[in-house]
């Protein structure tokens, strides 16, 4: 059993790791954000409407009086941004705009670090339109409720990293 001081030590270690990770990330930010102000970090935002979207963002920066620019830090072996990053950041954009009324840029950055801690780089990604984010969230709900049939992934490359690959019935049809 962990006592109160143990919890405090664990919390301090986690905060230390988090800030170390972001100190690293600050050195790897794209040129546009080198002098930007950090506006939000590790915050949860929510949008309500035909569907409630809850999204936790890593960081949001602002250059001058421009829109917020979202940044997501990922640790992965591959040197790239994924479509799932675009979906995640697009949902963050919808939630931040709805909750704060602030403008959020139509693009965002994904910072990638290797599991070894080595810098891999940053990627600028174009975000989805809010209506497409809501449509995707509604489709997800319908899939989970069993109201519609899932479709196979468009590319076999996506399947190769999927944990459901060994038993995927979509691939067997």
Taking CB under 6 A as the rule, does residue 158 contact ligand SF4? yes
Phi/psi of residue 16, each to 5°? -60, -45
Establish if 168 lies at the interface with ligand SF4 (CB under 6 A). yes
Binding span for ligand SF4 by CB under 6 A among 18-26, 64-72, 77-85, 150-158:
150-158
Per-residue burial over 69-98, b = 16 or more CB atoms within 10 Å of its CB, e = otherwise: bbbbbbebeeeebbeebbbbbbbbbbbbbb
- The single residue among 42, 84, 132, 164 that binds ligand SF4, judged by CB under 6 A, is 164
Binding-site member from 28, 39, 136, 159 for ligand SF4 (CB under 6 A): 159
Q: Cβ 62 to ligand SF4, closest distance in Å?
A: 36
Question: Applying CB under 6 A, which of residues 30, 60, 152, 157 lies at the interface with ligand SF4?
Answer: 152
- Give the C-alpha separation, 37 to 96, whole Å: 17
Which range touches ligand SF4 (CB under 6 A), out of 11-19, 58-66, 103-111, 159-167? 159-167
- 170 lies in the binding site for ligand SF4 (CB under 6 A): yes
Write down the least CB distance from residue 88 to ligand SF4, Å: 17
Long-range contacts of 19-23 (CB under 8 A, 24+ apart): 21/73, 21/113, 22/59, 22/73
- Decide: residue 55, CB within 10 A, 0-12 exposed, 13-18 middle, 19+ buried: buried
The SS3 call for residue 65 is coil
List of residues contacting ligand SF4 (CB under 6 A): 152-153, 158-159, 162, 164-165, 168, 170-171
């Amino acid at each position: 059993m962990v006592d109160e001081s143990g919890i405090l030590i664990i919390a301090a270690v986690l905060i230390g790791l988090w800030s170390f990770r972001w100190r690293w990330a600050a050195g790897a930010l794209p040129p546009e954000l080198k002098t930007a102000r950090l506006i939000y970090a590790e915050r949860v935002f929510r949008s309500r409407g035909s569907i409630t979207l809850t999204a936790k963002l890593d960081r949001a920066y602002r250059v001058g009086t421009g829109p917020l620019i979202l940044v997501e830090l990922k640790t992965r072996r591959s040197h790239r941004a994924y479509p799932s990053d675009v979906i995640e950041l697009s949902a963050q954009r919808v939630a931040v705009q709805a909750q704060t009324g602030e403008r959020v840029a139509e693009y965002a950055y994904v910072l990638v670090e290797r599991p070894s801690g080595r810098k891999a780089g940053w990627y600028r990604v174009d975000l989805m339109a809010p209506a497409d984010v809501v449509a995707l969230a509604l489709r997800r709900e319908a899939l989970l409720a069993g109201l519609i049939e899932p479709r196979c992934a468009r590319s076999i490359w996506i399947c190769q990293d999927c944990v459901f690959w060994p038993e995927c019935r979509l691939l067997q049809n």
